[in-house]
């Protein structure tokens, strides 16, 4: 190895001193250790017999020439803030900080888990390689969501087109009487189709926005991963670690709710035999009579009446409309937790730190479904066996208020929500703050909920053993309906029927 220049010493100027024997003049400087050494103490850095393997690959330079670069590296934060004469050589995993060799022995990091900065940086790079693969998989899942939604859009458009064509054939038989009826029916289908397409478009836009977020965050992670400076890499990673962990959550799976006009078609097949006698009634009223004549014979009580739950119906009729709505993470109160499949919500006595969202209930322990129903018939079941002494099950408009605990936010206390409620040993039906007592012989373990949007019917059943009607709300729905839950303790699970 070439001998270092001693220009400064030759000129009588004070030069750098050896870190290990301050009385000795430094001949070499290590830009990795950020220290200067005399000829005797630099030997462990040299590739000579007796040299230490830990110092292999360190950058050495003549002390005089390397002095400026050594000072610059120290000023860039490579010097221990606690032991100011020691370089940053180790990484403390417990504190996520770069420290010097004295910190784990004599300093504030005594007893902590430490490793060489090079080893820590390599481990971090390996983690980010795996993490980038996870982000790529998450992006592919979102792309798959878009394909599913696009397929649903195509199927809906084709089905709507076929339905209108078939309707035109039926109306030809009685054209003079049915011209106006045909126009109204096609308008009915178009309105429902447009509402569904708008919902699908919103879901597609949400997926695309998430893809943009994933791509942007992937670029940031790649920039950190490509840092050549291990300390800078670790510092940048530590600064972004919380956001990295948040992005590790699996991508949400969208399940577009199927929509069918088959009930419209069935209605008109029967209508052709006695058209003149029924045209005086509006379309929705006739559809309502056809579909629910057998299902809801026991549900025609006036609002506010006391119900004795003794009548039973055939559950298989409802299972034809079975759904398994998943719960919306962004509406979840911070004292509630969701299972991985988003079907079970449970109380947590420790407040969760969820991302801020205008959809989130911030005072009431409530959550809405991610799936909205804005047309057709739908049936789902809720397991309340582990829900304790207080629970609310129902449905709500998206316009229900989320902030505060006033009546505008409470499930069943406003025009935007309907529910049945258990508290202690009593059961009640609630809407607009008006309550109806429900008499039940045995506490239910599972509740069935049936919705027919066009007919304006929301019915509740005890399906623990058989199917016993509890209560039915009747009204004209004007917004999409989201299954809704509220807890006091324990856990509630939406049953997987599909």
Q: Is the pLDDT of residue 363 over 90?
A: yes
Task: Please tell me the predicted confidence (pLDDT) of residue 290.
Answer: 66
Task: Please tell me the predicted confidence (pLDDT) of residue 14.
Answer: 60
* Overall average pLDDT of the 190-207 stretch: 84
State which H helix or E strand residue 447 sits in: strand 446-452
Domain ranges of the chain: 7-113, 118-250, 304-349+362-494
Alpha-carbon Rg for the chain, nearest whole angstrom, is 35
Task: Please tell me the predicted confidence (pLDDT) of residue 445.
Answer: 94
> Any idea which of 24-33, 76-85, 87-96 has the lowest mean pLDDT?
76-85
Which backbone phi and psi does 146 adopt, to 5 degrees? -65, -40
Q: Is the pLDDT of residue 406 over 70?
A: yes
Higher pLDDT, 243 or 391: 391
Counting DSSP H helices and E strands in the chain, the numbers are: 10, 20
By the 8 A CB rule, do 480 and 309 touch?
Answer: no
Structure tokens given for 175:
């054209």
Task: Please tell me the predicted confidence (pLDDT) of residue 257.
Answer: 67
Q: Spell out the CATH class of 304-349+362-494.
A: mainly beta
Please state whether beta strands 307-308 and 434-439 pair in parallel, antiparallel, or not at all (unpaired): parallel
* Overall average pLDDT of the 67-75 stretch: 70
Q: Report the distance separating Cα 37 and Cα 16, nearest Å.
A: 9
* Overall average pLDDT of the 132-161 stretch: 91
Q: Report the distance separating Cα 303 and Cα 472, nearest Å.
A: 9
Q: Report the distance separating Cα 29 and Cα 64, nearest Å.
A: 8
Structure tokens given for 356:
């801020």
The closest alpha carbon to 495, from 148, 485, 487, belongs to 485
Q: Report the distance separating Cα 63 and Cα 68, nearest Å.
A: 9
Q: Report the distance separating Cα 37 and Cα 73, nearest Å.
A: 17
pLDDT band with cut points at 50, 70 and 90 for residue 198:
confident
The closest alpha carbon to 35, from 77, 5, 79, belongs to 79
Higher pLDDT, 119 or 286: 119
* Overall average pLDDT of the 152-159 stretch: 90
β-sheet bridge partners, residue 121: none
Q: Is the pLDDT of residue 96 over 60?
A: yes
The closest alpha carbon to 457, from 491, 488, 492, 431, belongs to 431
Q: How many CA atoms lie within 13 A of 118 on its CB side?
A: 7
Torsion of CA 99, 105, 109, 110, to 10 degrees: 160
> Any idea which of 21-30, 358-367, 376-385 has the lowest mean pLDDT?
21-30
Higher pLDDT, 14 or 362: 362
Assign 193 to helix, strand or coil: helix
pLDDT band with cut points at 50, 70 and 90 for residue 66:
confident
List pLDDT tens digits, range 272-302: 666 656 666 777 777 777 655 545 543 444 4
By the 8 A CB rule, do 59 and 69 touch?
Answer: no
User: In the chain, pLDDT over 90 holds for what percent of residues?
Assistant: 35
Q: Report the distance separating Cα 61 and Cα 76, nearest Å.
A: 19
């Amino acid at each position: 190895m070439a001998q270092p220049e001693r220009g400064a010493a030759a000129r009588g100027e004070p030069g750098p001193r050896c870190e290990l024997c301050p009385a000795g003049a430094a001949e070499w400087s290590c830009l990795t250790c950020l220290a200067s050494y005399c000829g005797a103490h630099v030997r462990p850095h040299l590739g000579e017999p007796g040299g230490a393997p830990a110092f292999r690959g360190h950058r050495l330079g003549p002390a005089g020439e390397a002095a400026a670069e050594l000072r610059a590296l120290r000023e860039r934060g490579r010097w221990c803030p606690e032991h100011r004469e020691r370089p940053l050589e180790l990484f403390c995993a417990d504190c996520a900080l770069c420290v010097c060799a004295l910190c784990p022995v004599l300093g504030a990091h005594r007893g902590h888990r430490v490793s060489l900065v090079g080893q820590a940086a390599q481990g971090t790079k390996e983690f980010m390689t795996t993490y980038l693969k996870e982000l790529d998989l998450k992006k592919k899942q979102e792309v798959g969501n878009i394909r599913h939604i696009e397929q649903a859009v195509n199927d809906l458009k084709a089905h709507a087109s076929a339905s209108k064509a078939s309707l035109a054939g039926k109306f030809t038989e009685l054209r003079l009487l049915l011209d106006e009826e045909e126009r109204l029916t096609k308008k009915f289908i178009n309105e429902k189709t447009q509402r569904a397409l708008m919902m699908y478009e919103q879901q597609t836009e949400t997926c695309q926005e998430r893809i943009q977020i994933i791509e942007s965050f992937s670029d940031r992670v790649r920039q950190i991963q490509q840092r050549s400076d291990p300390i800078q890499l670790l510092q940048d990673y530590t600064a972004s670690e919380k956001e990295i962990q948040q992005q590790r959550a699996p991508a949400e799976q969208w399940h577009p709710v199927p929509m069918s006009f088959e009930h419209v078609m069935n209605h008109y097949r029967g209508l052709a035999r006695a058209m003149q006698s029924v045209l005086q009634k509006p379309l929705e009223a006739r559809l309502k009579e056809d579909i629910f004549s057998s299902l809801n014979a026991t549900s025609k009580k006036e609002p506010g009446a006391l119900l004795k739950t003794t009548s039973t119906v055939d559950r298989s009729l409802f299972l034809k409309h079975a759904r398994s709505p998943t719960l919306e993470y962004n509406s979840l109160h911070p004292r509630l937790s969701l299972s991985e499949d988003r079907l079970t919500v449970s109380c947590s006595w420790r407040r969760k730190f969820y991302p801020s969202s205008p959809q989130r209930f911030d005072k009431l322990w409530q959550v809405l479904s991610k799936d909205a129903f804005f047309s057709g018939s739908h049936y789902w079941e809720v397991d309340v066996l582990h829900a304790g002494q207080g629970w609310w099950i129902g449905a709500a408009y998206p316009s229900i208020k989320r902030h505060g605990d006033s009546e505008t936010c409470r499930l069943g206390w406003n025009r935007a929500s309907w529910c049945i409620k258990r508290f202690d040993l009593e059961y009640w039906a609630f809407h607009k703050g008006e309550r109806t007592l429900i008499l039940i012989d045995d506490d239910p373990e599972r509740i069935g909920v049936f919705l027919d949007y066009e007919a304006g019917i929301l019915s509740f059943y005890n399906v623990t053993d058989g199917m016993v009607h509890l209560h039915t709300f009747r009204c004209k729905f004007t917004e999409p309906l989201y299954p809704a839950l509220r807890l006091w303790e324990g856990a509630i699970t939406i049953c997987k029927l599909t």
